[in-house]
Structure 1
């Protein structure tokens, strides 16, 4: 199977710090979340339904295996007295976030119902990724093999660049410098482990005052196996790594979780 180089994508996204919870065993997963920003929960498989009390002042949107959660603020009017028992508003209403109350949310997937206790705090937006190692292999294999090869590479890449996790993949944070010189520093951020494929997320920083066009072939040596796809995301319209800015690189290789020496034995030629 030929190697594919996916050119720079023009996705509107940013990468956030993530909180990874491996194989949660408790009935309720307790997490702190932002009381003012949009939080995100990423589950191993597609979310089929969600249940929560809307009286708690919380809004939840579902997209595939991701849930976007925001606590609704309260508008507090400023008023002044203009007579006996008479008041009029003064200025714009004050937006109050610190009145948000904790809420329990249930996410239903094909194999499990996940229960979360959300504790709103004065903090930055939180992204929580659940690694459930009991995820069925046939679900992951279906995700990796249902679409044409190039579509699968693009699907895995897009999921990671949007800050998500390919369906059923295990995620491991690395945060290790892979290479560094006077021009560029490359950091290996995260590994994603599927059945047929593995993916690695890199971050490349330009330390110069000149724009640079990255060559995907320069990053082949970082991969543990021969790459199946290398994608570069510059986060700009000119498709160059601008001075003192950063780009993301996704490297997809063959081989993932299995019981036969590192390569899933089925579905794809070795």
Structure 2
């Protein structure tokens, strides 16, 4: 056993693996250490603080100028609503492209993929002016509103997700829908009573990926939101270290640790569905 471990081909693979593990874990350990360091700075910080305390966490929850709990609620609301709407709209679009044959089908598929290749930041000015125009008519969907931010996120989430879900729908036999149709089911009943229950893994994957993307998004939220009480977590965290003479790295680290908890919890709950959802549909059978 030890002879095999000392073989060069075996040894260098393990060295690379352990280097990657250290490279990934060390920043996390450093952030955790900074959150318990009361000096509130990263200059001269040690991996194990000399006098660890919960002072940064107390500052985080007791600072009225930085409403961390409000930012967390805002982020969860925007992320959950956006993810749910993306799953609903994407499933309808992907089912149409997978099961129906209509004029412009291939053109539509490649068009949404082509548009997705250009990031939303390229259209930042147009998006800003569009929300400004919408806000004059529908105040809940204008600038500095969560409704407007959700609309923008929805517009940028369709392309890849439609292709991903279409590939999964293509692996489901059409004979199941034909049998349901013989029993008297309508096309829409075949969709939500036959296809959707069988597509739970890919629905979970798209929901999870969209949740992560929305939860951590910074640029669009920074441009479209301005009031302190409507900021998302990513924009709010930047305010802790944005001042030149009042950087709060310890509080920032504490907020980052707490802010990562929802994604870890969601991954723990959905990990069984994520594996099958990502692998099935990748190859057309």
TM value normalised by structure 1: 0.24
Q: Whose helix fraction is larger, Structure 1's or Structure 2's?
A: 2
The structure with the largest alpha-carbon Rg is: 2
Q: Whose strand fraction is larger, Structure 1's or Structure 2's?
A: 1
Whose relative contact order is higher, 1 or 2, with alpha carbons under 8 Å and at least 6 apart? Answer: 2
